[in-house]
Every structure is written in structure tokens, then in C-alpha cells.
Amino acid sequence: MATITIRGLTKVYPGGVRALDGLDLDVADGEFFALLGPSGCGKTTLLRTVAGLETASGGTVCLGGADVTRLPPGRRGVGMVFQDYALFPHMTVLDNIAYPLRIKKRSRADRHRSAREAVGQLGLEGLEERRPGELSGGQQQRVALARALVADPRMFLLDEPLSNLDARLRLEARTFLKRLQQRLGVTTVFVTHDQAEALALADRIAVMDAGRVRQLGTPAEVFRRPANLFVASFIGSTPMNLLPGIVRDGSVAAAGAEPPVPDEARGLVSDGEPVVCGIRPEYLDYNEEPVDGAFAGTVSVVEHLGGSSLVTLDVEGEPVRVVVGEGFDAAPGAAGWALPRPGRLLLYRDGELVTPARDTPLIKNGRPH
């Protein structure tokens, strides 16, 4: 079983940067797992520590149930693709792919047989004798993947493998990667700082910040119910609307409206408590007429997204964004009302989602909370 179990993992670089801060994480066998977070949050450090290229300052890494924290990289059975691919410029494609087998001292004929198999799996036929400088970005990425694949690893660690590609190629490469992982069924940890990529590809996502996991869940859980304001503002191509409010008589007074306290938060907040209402632009319905419980404002900006529009309403000085379907024709200056869909409003207190304790899909630092 190619599981990954990480407990209390800490990495302090010489000079004192604490890149990982007591991090816990479990990746299941065969899972396509995304690590998502802003630049500098410790994603590369985590992958390199799992691969054995960095030594942990504290905590443990278990692969397939065995503690590998002190094992050298060559004995961990992981294939890694680096952020910059790290291909050898003077070697041919075939020799680059076969390189891990040279380290393992396999015969030349054997190395080339395995490398040709990987060439076939990644659709690189005809490019075997070229050098990396003579390839497109997408082809280089596939060479790096083939090199990770050739040693038959029990897991893949991919560090932003798509970041060097342009937008269209990136989309193609991402579908290709998803299909490859489904076909091979190899446990894969995939690093990205692109939240759309993580939502599209992953079985589960860990959102990281400052060396810790801030939320662990399926793409749907992380999108619909961010566990804290950090995740709420990080996830989503248009950020969640976050409106400060005060609890009053079973409602929340926020930006001139008084939506009811969400069911899950009922009994967990008291009158007079300051909270933040979170609602995604996708979960607000736009109305041209006044509606009970809606945020009332004035249209300030209309951005066309293709099939829909992103409308920014000025609500008592706060911008409230609403995704509106085709046919929207109100001009800036028009009055508009934004009504939260039932069950979609979230309540945050002290930066954390207000939710019953028995609700376990939300996991903090790898542990139910």
C-alpha cells in the first residue's frame, strides 16, 4: 500500500526559516492529492522532505506504513518531478529518461528498454534522440514525467509540473496528467499554487499556509465550506464575499441586511457577537426588485465572463460580487439586490467557520476538529 503518513513534520532551514511547522497529513493509496498554498508556504519543502532530499528537523514520514524519516532518497521508492524539470541539457531525451536506472546500475540494454516503454506511455515517440533544448515546454514536462515513471515508483511527487506551460497547453497537460494517474493508479502528490488546477484534478486537497495545513478535504468541501477565512479568501476564482456583521435575535446584521443565522451555527453564537458572513458570488441571486433578506446596493462594475457576468454591487460601501447568468443588462448606477441561496451563507468567528463540533468533514492539520 503506497500510503503517506506525516506526523508533526518540522523543517527549519539553516538561518532559522521554519518552512514546515508540525505538519500532519495522510494520503491514501492511489489517491491524487493536491498541495495548494501561496508562494513560500512550504509546498516544495514538504515534497523534498517526503522524497528524502531534505532532512526533517522533527517529526516522521511513513511511506506504506514504514518509517522512512532517516532513509536516503534512493531507498524511498518515490519518483519526483521538480518545479523546473531539472533535465540534463547535454543528454538526449532517452538518456534523460533512463538516468534513474543508471543510478541503480542497471545494464544499458535494460535501461533503454524501460525508457522506451516510458516514451510510449507519455507519447514522446520520435523525440528520443533530441536534447531538452530542442523540445517545447509541454514535451519537456512529459520527459520529466517519463523520468519519474521509469524506475517504477510506488508514488509520484510532482512539484508544479505545469507551471512553465502557457494557458492552453497547461489545460491539455492537466487532462493528460489526470488520465495518466487514473491509468497507473499511483499515489500522487501534486503541488500547485493555482487553485483552479487543484480543484479540477485532485481527489483531495490540503490548503497550506506558513508551514501548516489549514484545511484538508475534497475539492467540493474546500470550495463550499472553507474551514477558515484564510481558505475562504484563497479558494475560488472570484473570491468569497466576506461581510462583517453582528449577531442579533437569530439573525446577522451585516451590510444593511439581516440574513438568518445559518442552521449549522444556531445555538453556537450569541447576541452581540461580531462575526463575518461568507457567501460566494456563485451562491447569490441577483434581483432588480427589492427582496426580503437580500443585500441592497448599486451596480458599480460589470465584468463579462463569457456565459455569465460578474457584477459588483456597492452595498453600504462594501463591494459584494454576484455571478449573474446570461442576459444581464443593468448598467452601473442601477439599484440591485443580492439574495443568498438557502444553506449557502457561512458564518466565521475569530477567523474559523462556526460549525457543530461533531461535523467531521472539516479537518484541521490532518485531524478532525
Q: Which positions touch Mg ion (CB under 5 A)? A: 44
**Toward ligand ATP, which CB reaches closer, 11 or 147?**
11
Instruction: Report, in Å, the least distance between residue 18 CB and ligand ATP.
Output: 8
Q: Which residues pair with 81 in a beta bridge?
A: 158
Instruction: Report, in Å, the least distance between residue 57 CB and ligand ATP.
Output: 12
**Toward Mg ion, which CB reaches closer, 206 or 320?**
206
3-state secondary structure of 108: helix
Instruction: Report, in Å, the least distance between residue 174 CB and ligand ATP.
Output: 17
Instruction: Report, in Å, the least distance between residue 42 CB and Mg ion.
Output: 9
What are the start-end ranges of the E strands in 151-270? 155-159, 187-192, 204-209, 212-217, 241-248, 251-254
With a CB cutoff of 8 Å and minimum separation 6, the contacts of 58 are 8, 9, 10, 22
What separation in angstroms does the CA of 366 have from each of 79, 173, 215?
24, 30, 8
| Stretch touching ligand ATP by CB under 6 A, among 43-51, 65-73, 199-207, 263-271 | 43-51
**Toward ligand ATP, which CB reaches closer, 43 or 147?**
43
Q: How many Å apart are CA 344 and CA 323, to the nearest integer? A: 14
The 53-82 site mask, x for binding ligand ATP (CB under 6 A), equals ------------------------------
DSSP label of 99: H
Residue 39 touching ligand ATP (CB under 6 A): yes
Instruction: Report, in Å, the least distance between residue 239 CB and ligand ATP.
Output: 19
Total residues found in the chain within this entry: 369
| Stretch touching ligand ATP by CB under 6 A, among 1-9, 42-50, 134-142, 234-242 | 42-50
Selection from 86, 68, 87 nearest residue 78 by Cα: 68
Residues 142 to 201 in contact with ligand ATP, rule: CB under 6 A: 193
**Toward ligand ATP, which CB reaches closer, 82 or 295?**
82
- Can you tell me which residue has the cell 463591494? 319
Amino acid at site 282: E
Residue 19 touching ligand ATP (CB under 6 A): yes
Among 8, 30, 40, 260, which residue sits at the site for ligand ATP (rule: CB under 6 A)?
Answer: 40
Instruction: Report, in Å, the least distance between residue 315 CB and ligand ATP.
Output: 34
Q: How far is CA 55 from the centre of its chain?
A: 25
107 binds, among ligand ATP, Mg ion, none (CB under 5 to 8 A by kind): none
Q: Which residues pair with 335 in a beta bridge?
A: 298
- Can you tell me which residue has the cell 534513474? 100
- Can you tell me which residue has the cell 461568507? 278
Judged by the rule CB under 6 A, the positions of this chain that interact with ligand ATP are 13, 15, 17, 19, 37, 39-45, 193
